[in-house]
Amino acid sequence: MPARILGCVKLYEYQAKEVFASYGLPVPKGEAASTPQQVEEAARRIGGRVVIKAQVHVGGRGKAGGIKLADSPEHARDVAQQMLGSTLKGFVVKYVLVEQALPIDKEYYLSFTLDRDSQNIIGICSAMGGVDIEEVAASHPDKIVRMPVDIAFGPLDFQLREFIGRAGLDGSKSREISAVVKKLYDVYVSTDASLAEINPLVVTADGRVIVADAKFDIDDNALFRQKKLEVYKDASEEDELEAEAHRRGLTYVHLGGSVGIIGNGAGLVMNTLDIVNQAGGKPANFLDIGGGARAEVVRNALDMVLLDKEVKAILINIFGGITRGDEVARGVLEATATLDVRVPIVVRMAGTEAEAGLKLLEGTKLLPAATAVDGARKAVELARSAA
Amino acid sequence: MAILVDSGTKVLVQGITGREGAFHAGQMRAYGTKVVAGVTPGKGGGEHDGVPLFDSVAEAVARTGANASAIFVPPPFAADAILESVAAGVPLVACITEGIPILDMVRVARYMKGSGTRLIGPNCPGITTAGQCKIGIMPNMLFSTGNVGLISRSGTLTYEVVDALTRAGLGQTTCIGIGGDPIIGTKHIDALQLFAKDPDTKVTVMIGEIGGSDEEAAAEFLQGSGMKVVGFISGRNAPPGKRMGHAGAIISGSSGTAAGKIAALEKAGVPVAGTLEDIVPLVRRQLAS
């Protein structure tokens, strides 16, 4: 399904619409705002009935109270007063989008994303828009239409006709809808997107075709050639700790448990999370220091994990391949000598120079573990007794 | 026997004069790999540690008979490096580079359709046939010769498992790190099909992770195949929507979960290890069965 496949840079709806509009996609008249005053002014400039939409990266905003109508600028101000600063599905609303309200006749779904299996870009559309597409896929799989696109050619005209026809979209609007599909594909390819989604694509009562909501993720591996989109990177961080980690250049995911995890290699760290869970603990984070980590990286990683106040114990899991165990041990020792380490640290080390590394840790406060499973048990126990 | 690479494989290294390329070309040679050429545009005619340098892959192939390429080129240029080898007709390309834009890989996959080249990776540790040939960055000292094959999406877990196998006296035929990206040249199923035809490989260990449906496809292939396989899936506790280091390791909606992959493998009769430590006993059991 249209998954947020890579999605390190997730754009907010208002940012997505800015980019979409620059590619000629029809978006409603609207403005982003962060204070009730700004909302009132925006509503006045837009004129008429407006919709106020909370800018957070979660689905189902409408049901959660994140999308509201307002009949006047004053009303818009009142609505914004309530919405700004409130928490929606765990996310604080810092921005709202004020938009012209649309007289909706029909709601469709449209997206481009990557299909891993066919290694192609795939277009997806449905006449059942405006709702969670995963739910549509589960309840009405026949209502989801797919169009594999050959990147050498882009979507072909006959494919577009078939795509729109099979989905059962309004035939009298097929020219306008076709244009939207083509432009969305252009956005997808030109911006190195991993997901470009319109849900819903609206046909208004007066016959206009408009992008009512947009979801847009950029492949962060391509940011080196998408300088214009780099500005959206910082704003895409919802989690304070993750934002800090990315500023430090660390591969970190905040998970909310009490056992801090540091390891080398994505697969190994993922596996470390698994064994901590199997030992009955809750990992606080995913942190991969990568290959050939030097003392400075280890120090940075430890410091990062310690920023998380929920962390009660830390498990360092290293398999030395190219990375040498003795070097990592030196890095850990240097780090603990200079940092205020308030929790116990368990170190499991195997592979290249692991014995030498473990020898260096003897007689220090660091607790060695023979295996990853053993280390996980120790760390979980320590976290539990500290809680 | 083993698969894809052996003592006769002649390797060219794209990006041999870069930091990573230079170091690992040296390590590959130390392992006994025949590194016959290096390609760095603009440095043709020179040499690097005794390895002749060429401006293009085509020239390197014509002059040295190289039949495999290892790519250590930075991400913005890596897709082009792959395509250059494909165009030059190199039969095997292992791309080590991590961080290639996904649309570049869509273009690579498109360009490679119908070509005779097999791509391993990108974002992978490469391929090693124990005692014969290493292409990539796997640590030299882990391997021992034997009859276990290994396929893995993760580099470090490959090393962990090879190390454990070697310590347990279970040597290897070939180990392939297929890579952690959403689009890779050789998937689990492709590698399994190769091992299925290799008389020397008695048991294959398959290390998967969350994201995508390659493990499920592999399970379907294994159903009734008669192959002896031991599975392992990492990321059982990864939350949906969070990318776990690898670009490809992300659960989207209800697909790509560890539970789904484990269930698919078990349904196909493949024993799945609960922890890495369980892999060696399961390999022993499969060898004895």
With an 8 Å Cβ cutoff, are A150 and B276 in contact?
A: no
With an 8 Å Cβ cutoff, are A221 and B106 in contact?
A: no
Q: Among the three residues B85, B120, B155, which one is the final residue of a domain in this structure?
A: B120
Residue A7's pLDDT band, with cuts at 50, 70 and 90, is: very low
Check A99, A107, A197, A353 and give the catalytic one.
A197
Q: Among the three residues B69, B92, B120, which one is the final residue of a domain in this structure?
A: B120
With an 8 Å Cβ cutoff, are A116 and B252 in contact?
A: no
The alpha carbon of residue B49 and the mean position of all alpha carbons in its chain are separated, in whole angstroms, by 26
B162 and B281 both lie in a single domain: yes
Please report the number of interchain residue pairs, chain A to chain B, with beta-carbon separation below 8 angstroms.
180
Residue A4 pLDDT: 35
B33 and B93 both lie in a single domain: yes
Per-residue model confidence as pLDDT tens digits over A198-207:
999 999 999 9
Q: Using CB atoms within 10 A of its CB, is residue B110 exposed (0-12), middle (13-18) or buried (19+)?
A: middle
Of A194, A224, A270, which is closest to B234 when you measure between CB atoms?
A270
Q: Among the three residues B65, B89, B120, which one is the final residue of a domain in this structure?
A: B120
Place of tokens 């005779």: B116
Is B254 within the bounds of a domain?
yes
From residue A373, give the alpha-carbon distance in Å to each of A298, A346, A376, B262. 22, 12, 5, 20
pLDDT at residue A124 is higher than 50? yes
A197 at the B interface (CB within 8 A)? no
Is B276 within the bounds of a domain?
yes
Q: Contact B214/B18 with Cβ under 8 angstroms?
A: no
- CATH number, domain containing residue B188: 3.40.50.261
ipTM value: 0.91
Residue A146 pLDDT: 95
Number of domains in chain B: 2
With an 8 Å Cβ cutoff, are B274 and A278 in contact?
A: yes
Residue among A56, A111, A116, A348 with most chain B CBs within 10 A, to mutate: A116
pLDDT at residue A299 is higher than 60? yes
Calpha distance A131→A109 (Å, rounded): 9
Residue among A270, A286, A373 with most chain B CBs within 10 A, to mutate: A270
Q: Please state the rounded mean pLDDT for residues A163-189.
A: 96
With an 8 Å Cβ cutoff, are A221 and B250 in contact?
A: no
B253 and B161 both lie in a single domain: yes
Per-residue model confidence as pLDDT tens digits over A266-290:
999 999 999 999 999 999 999 998 8
Q: Does the active-site annotation cover A162?
A: no
Calpha distance B41→A256 (Å, rounded): 48
B83 and B149 both lie in a single domain: no
B147 and B269 both lie in a single domain: yes
Residues of chain A numbered 266-295 and touching chain B (CB < 8 Å)? 266-271, 273-278, 283, 286, 288, 291
Is B31 within the bounds of a domain?
yes
B14 and B105 both lie in a single domain: yes
Q: Give, to the nearest 10 degrees, the angle between helix A174-190 and helix A157-167.
A: 120
With an 8 Å Cβ cutoff, are A351 and B163 in contact?
A: yes
B174 and B111 both lie in a single domain: no
Angle (nearest 5°) at CA A267 between A263 and A269: 30
Residue A3's pLDDT band, with cuts at 50, 70 and 90, is: very low
From residue A109, give the alpha-carbon distance in Å to each of A65, A105, A165, A192, A265. 22, 14, 14, 21, 38
Which amino acid, residue A106? K
Contacts of B159 in chain A (CB under 8 A): 319, 321, 351
Residue B227 pLDDT: 97
Q: Using CB atoms within 10 A of its CB, is residue A59 exposed (0-12), middle (13-18) or buried (19+)?
A: middle
Counting residues of chain A whose pLDDT is more than 90, the rounded percentage is: 67
Calpha distance A264→A350 (Å, rounded): 11
Of B102, B156, B247, which is closest to A267 when you measure between CB atoms?
B156
A146 at the B interface (CB within 8 A)? no
Is B3 within the bounds of a domain?
no
Is B189 within the bounds of a domain?
yes
Structural domain containing residue B239? 139-288
With an 8 Å Cβ cutoff, are B156 and A283 in contact?
A: no
Of A266, A351, A373, which is closest to B154 when you measure between CB atoms?
A266
B148 and B110 both lie in a single domain: no
Is B1 within the bounds of a domain?
no
Sign of CA dihedral B208, B212, B217, B220: positive
Q: Please state the rounded mean pLDDT for residues B74-93.
A: 97
Of A219, A225, A352, which is closest to B139 when you measure between CB atoms?
A352
Of B99, B110, B252, which is closest to A5 when you measure between CB atoms?
B252
B220 and B263 both lie in a single domain: yes
Contacts of A255 in chain B (CB under 8 A): 239, 242
| Residue A357 or A37, more confident | A37
Distance, in angstroms, between B108 CA and closest chain A CA? 10
Residues in chain B: 289
Q: Does the active-site annotation cover B24?
A: no
Residue A294's pLDDT band, with cuts at 50, 70 and 90, is: confident
How is A111-137 classified by DSSP, letter by letter?
EEEEETTTTEEEEEEES--SS-HHHHH
From residue A52, give the alpha-carbon distance in Å to each of A182, A238, B194. 29, 20, 57
Per-residue model confidence as pLDDT tens digits over A15-41:
999 999 999 999 999 999 999 999 999
Which amino acid, residue A265? G
Is B134 within the bounds of a domain?
no
Bridge partners of residue A11, in order along the sequence: A216
Contacts of B237 in chain A (CB under 8 A): 273-274, 276-277, 283
With an 8 Å Cβ cutoff, are A267 and B275 in contact?
A: no
- Residue B120 in 3-state DSSP? strand
B204 and B246 both lie in a single domain: yes
Locate the chain A residue with the closest alpha carbon to B242. A253
With an 8 Å Cβ cutoff, are B253 and A3 in contact?
A: yes
Per-residue model confidence as pLDDT tens digits over A365-386:
899 998 899 999 999 999 999 8
- CATH number, domain containing residue B116: 3.40.50.720
B155 and B283 both lie in a single domain: yes
Angle (nearest 5°) at CA B128 between A320 and B204: 95
Distance, in angstroms, between A330 CA and closest chain B CA? 21
B187 and B112 both lie in a single domain: no
Per-residue model confidence as pLDDT tens digits over A231-262:
887 665 667 888 888 888 888 999 999 999 99
Is B125 within the bounds of a domain?
no
Calpha distance A131→A119 (Å, rounded): 27
Of A189, A268, A320, which is closest to B154 when you measure between CB atoms?
A268
Q: What is the side-by-side strand order in the sheet with A251-254?
A: A251-254, A285-288, A259-263, A313-320, A345-351, A367-369
| Structural domains of chain A, with CATH | 1-27+103-238 (3.30.470.20), 29-101 (3.30.1490.20), 240-386 (3.40.50.261)
